[in-house]
A and B are shown apart, each in its own frame.
Chain A
Amino acid sequence: MNREQHSAIARMGIRGKLLLIFVLIKVVPLLLLSWIAWSAFERLGATVSDRAAVMADGMVETVGEFAEEATNDAIAALDDRSREALERLTTDTARAISQFLYDRDADIRQAALLPTTEAAYRSFMAFRERALFDHGPWRLNQDRSAWEAASGDGPNPLKAARADEALADNARHFSARPPEFFGRRAMRPLYVEMSFVGIDGRERVKVRTGDLTEAGLRDVSDRRNTFLGGEDYWQRLKQLAPGEIEVSEVIGEYVGSRVIGPYTPAAAERAGIAFEPEQSAYAGTENPLGRRFRGLVRWATPVVAEGRVVGYVTLALDHDHLRQFTDRLSPTGMRYTPISDATSGNYAFLWDFKGRAISHPRDYFIVGFDRASGERVVPWLDRDLYRQWQASGKPANQFLAGVEPYLAQSLEKKPALELVKAGTIALDCRYLNFSPQCAGWEQLTAAGGSGSFVIFFSGLWKLTTAAAIPYDTGRYGDSERGFGFVTIGANVDEFHHAATMSATKIERALEDKRAAFAEQRADLFDAIRDNLERTAGELGLSTAVMIGVVIGVALWMAAFLTRQITRLSDAIGRFRAGDLDHRIEVRSRDEMGHLAIDLNRMADAVEESFRRLDDARARAVEANEMKTSFLAKMSHELRTPLNGILGFAQLLEMRLDQPESKKFAATIASSGRHLLKIVSDLLDMAKVEAGRVELENVAVPLRHFVEDTCAGHQADAGEKGLEFQLVLAPELPETIISDPLRLRQILNNLLNNAVKFTDAGRVSLTVEAQGSALAFRVEDTGRGIPAEQLERVFEPFSQVEDFMNRSRDGTGLGLALARELAGLFDGRIDVASTVGVGSRFTLTIPFTVEVAKAA
């Protein structure tokens, strides 16, 4: 503890100190205990809460992990099963198409046997028809943001077998569906056209079932006269041996669209075109009013008569029948749909043996011909390829003939938006380089196989399958892939929907549990906190009460003690202030009471002392005044007769003529003067002793003063034949502050004695500075004073007759007075003497140098 704190505590007073002590020994431990208790409670609360949280979290986490694992397993299992089912659906579809195509081979063979007459052909065509399904009318919904079916057509759930009617043995997983709904069924001829072409290439017979192809007999050896100017069968027909069959590629007019996705007013506006859905390509649910892709596949075979080829019969298959194999497929729980829905990602396509789209829910993706040029329109290219094509300046077909197919296909590549803008976005897998699934399908089906993979495309994880359509007639025999391939795309999430649902349920349950735990934990926490708060409150209250009591007791004790002490202190104060009669009232018998009694006794004693002291002082003052008065009176009374004695003695001496008488008169005068001197010295002595002499403080020019003082004595010494020496030390101050009269009085005394008591030799005065004092040393070569008498010389009227024949003018008071006066100067007179050698009296007085006055 440092000094300041010490003094602060010292200043504190008893009340403060008591409070401090109480605080230190009582309040601080209380607070400490409270704090410890509080901390322990708090720690306990935190620990319990944390443990509970850890347990709850652990439990939830474990369950979550199990659930996740189970869900993942279920998803994997479901995905596997779905993939399996989807692949099977794909291969089944491919087989069905294959079968369908082979049936058409049978048709053409049969047709070759028919008479080449219109009637025969018409009757042949009449029985070649097949059901097509249509979705009926659709319209824009209320807010024109999507299309909706205008009719309520759909599967009739009432026609599903009732699970509750199942036999108990069959009840387990009894699954029943109503009749599958494909849409509105309508029978449509399989073929749009049947013709007989002569050996010269001219059509001889032509029967149509609709108006897709043109009426009238044409020379098909000129390609421009074929359907859309795009058919090349004539060149191939001439190669055919009897019995051999030519099957064409899919020929149809390209229907474009400048909107990909739902064709709505908003989409049309975005594309910057008028909303004319009928002018744009059909796209299932995305544009149910659109223009449909219409196409054909022509079968042809030589007609043999009499052992030679007389011409060729052709059958043009309506492409609608082909595409229906995939258009009605839905790789979902629905299984079939009257209208394909490309938006959901669940749909099936057909691709020809070269990888060109020949069936797609979005008709604008189907590769078709430009009626004007008789060539296929340019397919959708990626940005780079499009730029290369533009740069080449070649027609699309020529340019693409020199391009490597399936070139580094990747999702990284971007489609050429210029083609979207142009509305020509047919899909030719070979050049659809921003669609890597093309390469995948190619890879799976190149050798006639099938398979699947999953790809993230258009924002969806899709399982996509591919299965080659085994068909080897005509040109398709050159391709291991056969006619082409079926692909089915399915939204993976839908497969494991159940598992996902379960997972969601579990997740929700877990969430609930977690929330419940959290709530429980919060409750626990609240409970602990409430407890803590209550404890803290109680602890705080009790601590506060205890502190209050402690401080109260401290204050009371402090007040009690300080009141007593203050009372004593007040009493002492009053006593000291002069109320000497005041005594302390004794109220208790403890130490304070004893202290009061002791103080009272002391006060008694002090009062008595004061009284005595006052009396003594009064008496002393009185005595002193009496003495002074007496001396003054005595001096007056002695001087009055002395006036007469001295005066008349002097006058007498002046008047007498006779020398002897004159001497008598002089003696009387001299005796009077002696007496006067005695009286003066006595008076001086008395005044000094009575304290009535006050020294002056005036500037004394030291050298002049000393020389002046010595003058008379020098003369006296000379008269006695003595040598007088005055020695002034060189370091003496010029001027001192002193009382010159009294100082001279002392020096006169000493010099008088020296001259008086020296018969031969020398008297000297030496003045020196000794530090801050001046020493006046009077030396003589007189008789000297015996050592045992040295101090007595300062006594008044000392009888030192033996060594000092008192001269008639000595008063016996000179040295005594000199010593008294020296005392007034705060100085002293020392004496040293050797009998027969001489004496030395030294006056030493402190001196003050005159302060030089400011100029």
Chain B
Amino acid sequence: MSASAARRALIVDDHGVNREVAKAYVEVLGWSALDVNSGEEALAALGRESFDAMLLDINMPGLSGLDVLHSLRSNPRTRNQWVIAYTAHAMSDELGRLLDQGFDGVLVKPIELEQIQAELARVPARF
């Protein structure tokens, strides 16, 4: 694992508790994190700074997780942003579809430390 100061995650969830849980886990794992409560804010945050990974909820009022993903993937600057779906949808077919749609990883709520640890381990180093 690279130096913790260098790793930073953006957590996007309209549900405050889940934002906090995710942020806590990420921080436990030595990452820093910014959490925002909407897709719009997430895009704004991405406009301001860059993140090694992004935990993105799907079901959100306003821009959904998918809307945000599509927006990112259609922008050359953010096209390669590592995005991990952070969702309570647990149907296996839905999960498969998420990967097909362009997510780089999936974390199904409820998450536990081991899962988020494994998923973050997959995030490639930033240049």
Contact of B90 among A635, A644, A650, A651 (CB under 8 A): A635
Total chain A interface residues with beta-carbon distance under 8 A: 25
Within 8 A of A (CB), among B1-35: 15, 17-18, 20-22, 24-25, 28
Asked if B17 and A654 sit within 8 Å, CB to CB, the answer is no
Question: Are A639's CB and B28's CB within 8 A?
Answer: no
A639 x B91 contact (CB < 8 A)? no
Q: Does A752 contact B (CB under 8 A)?
A: no
Contact A650 B91 (CB under 8 A): no
A632→B88 CA distance, assembly (Å): 10
Docked complex Cα distance between A643 and B110 (Å): 4
Residue from A632, A644, A679 in contact with B18 in the complex, judged by beta carbons closer than 8 Å: A644
Docked CA distance A841–B98 (Å)? 38
Bound Cα distance from A427 to B21, whole angstroms: 174
Shortest A809–chain B CB gap in Å is 15
B108 and A639 within 8 A (CB) = yes
User: Nearest CB to that of A646 among chain B residues?
Assistant: B110
Q: Is A640 an interface residue (CB 8 A)?
A: yes
Query: Which A628-666 residues have C-beta < 8 A from chain B?
Result: 632, 635-648, 650-651, 654
Q: Contact at A643–B109, with CB atoms within 8 Å? A: yes
Q: Which residue of B lies closest to A645 (CB)?
A: B110
* Structural contact, A640 and B88, CB atoms closer than 8 A: yes
Interface pair A654/B110, CB less than 8 Å apart: no
Complex CA distance for A679 and B110, rounded to whole angstroms: 11
Query: In chain B between 42 and 100, which residues have their CB closer than 8 angstroms to a CB of chain A?
Result: 59, 87-91, 93-94
A687 within 8 A of B: yes
B125, CB-defined interface residue at 8 Å = no
Find out whether the CB atom of B24 lies under 8 angstroms from the CB atom of A643.
Answer: no
Chain A residues near B24: list those with CB within 8 A. Answer: 647-648, 651
- Judge if B111 is at the interface, Cβ distance under 8 Å: yes
Closest Cβ neighbor of A631 among chain B residues: B91
* B91 and A683 contacting across the interface, CB-CB below 8 Å: yes
A647 and B25: CB pair below 8 A? yes
- Determine how close the nearest CB of chain A comes to the CB of B7; give it in whole angstroms: 19
Q: Which residue of B lies closest to A676 (CB)?
A: B110
Nearest residue, chain A, Cβ from B86: A643
Cβ of B59: which chain A residues have Cβ within 8 Å of it?
A: 636
With a cutoff of 8 Å between Cβ atoms, the chain B residues found around residue A672 in the complex are 110
Which among B88, B89, B93 is the interface contact of A643 at CB below 8 angstroms? B88
Chain A, residue nearest B116 (CB): A647
Q: Quick one: CB contact mask for A396-439 with B, threshold 8 Å, 1 for yes?
A: 00000000000000000000000000000000000000000000
A646 proximity list for chain B (CB < 8 A):
110-112
Q: How many residues of B contact A (CB 8 A)?
A: 23
Known A651-B25, A654-B28; judge A639-B17 contact (CB<8 A): no
Chain B residues near A645 (CB-CB < 8 A)? 110
B113 close to chain A: CB less than 8 A: yes
Instruction: Please classify the interface of chain A as helix (H, G, I), strand (E, B), loop, or mixed, using the class held by over half of its residues.
Output: helix
How far in angstroms is the closest Cβ of chain A from B114? 10
- Given A672-B110, A676-B110, residue A643 in contact with residue B90 (CB < 8 A): no
B113–A650 touching, CB < 8 Å: yes
CB contact list, A592-650 vs B, under 8 A: 632, 635-648, 650
A632 adjacent to B21 (CB under 8 Å): no
Give complex CA distance A654, B91 in Å: 30
Selected contact of A636 from candidates B21, B22, B28, B89, CB within 8 Å: B89
A680 on interface, CB distance cutoff 8 Å: yes
Contact A639 B25 (CB under 8 A): no
Q: Which chain A positions have C-beta within 8 A of B17?
A: 641, 643-644, 648
Residues of B within 8 A of A643 (CB): 17-18, 21, 88, 109-111
Q: Write the chain A residue with the least CB distance to B21.
A: A647
Asked if B112 and A639 make an inter-chain contact with CB atoms under 8 angstroms apart, the answer reads no
Given contacts A639-B109, A654-B28, contact A644 B21 (CB under 8 A): yes
- Of A636, A643, A645, which is in contact with the most chain B CB atoms at under 10 Å from its CB? A643
With A644-B18, A672-B110 already in contact, the answer to whether A635 and B25 are too (CB < 8 A) is: no
A654 to B18, CA, bound (A): 18
CB within 8 Å of B: which of A733-776? Answer: none
Q: Which residue of the partner chain B has the closest CB to A640?
A: B88
One of A639, A651, A676, A692 near B21 (C-beta < 8 A): A651
Q: Which residues of B contact A638 (CB under 8 A)?
A: 88
Interface pair B111/A647, CB less than 8 Å apart: yes
Q: Which residue of B has the minimal Cβ distance to A672? A: B110
Least CB distance from A478 to B in Å reads: 166
Say yes or no: A632 contacts B110, CB within 8 Å: no
A-chain residues with CB within 8 Å of residue B94 when the two chains form the complex: 632
- Tell whether A642 pairs with B91 under 8 Å between CB atoms, given A647-B25, A651-B24, A654-B28: no
Chain B residues in the interface with A (C-beta under 8 A): 15, 17-18, 20-22, 24-25, 28, 59, 87-91, 93-94, 108-113
The contact sample of 27 A-B pairs, CB cut-off 8 A, is A632-B91, A636-B87, A636-B88, A636-B89, A636-B90, A637-B88, A639-B90, A639-B110, A640-B15, A641-B17, A642-B109, A642-B110, A643-B17, A643-B21, A643-B88, A643-B109, A644-B20, A647-B24, A648-B20, A648-B21, A650-B112, A650-B113, A654-B28, A654-B113, A676-B110, A683-B91, A687-B91
Given contacts A636-B90, A644-B17, A647-B22, 19 further A-B contacts (CB under 8 A): A635-B89, A636-B88, A639-B90, A639-B108, A639-B110, A640-B15, A643-B21, A643-B109, A643-B111, A644-B15, A646-B110, A646-B112, A647-B21, A647-B25, A648-B17, A650-B113, A651-B24, A687-B91, A692-B93
Among all A-B residue pairs, the 6 with the closest Cβ atoms: A647-B21, A639-B88, A643-B109, A644-B17, A643-B110, A646-B110
Q: Report which A residues bind B (CB closer than 8 A).
A: 632, 635-648, 650-651, 654, 672, 676, 679-680, 683, 687, 692
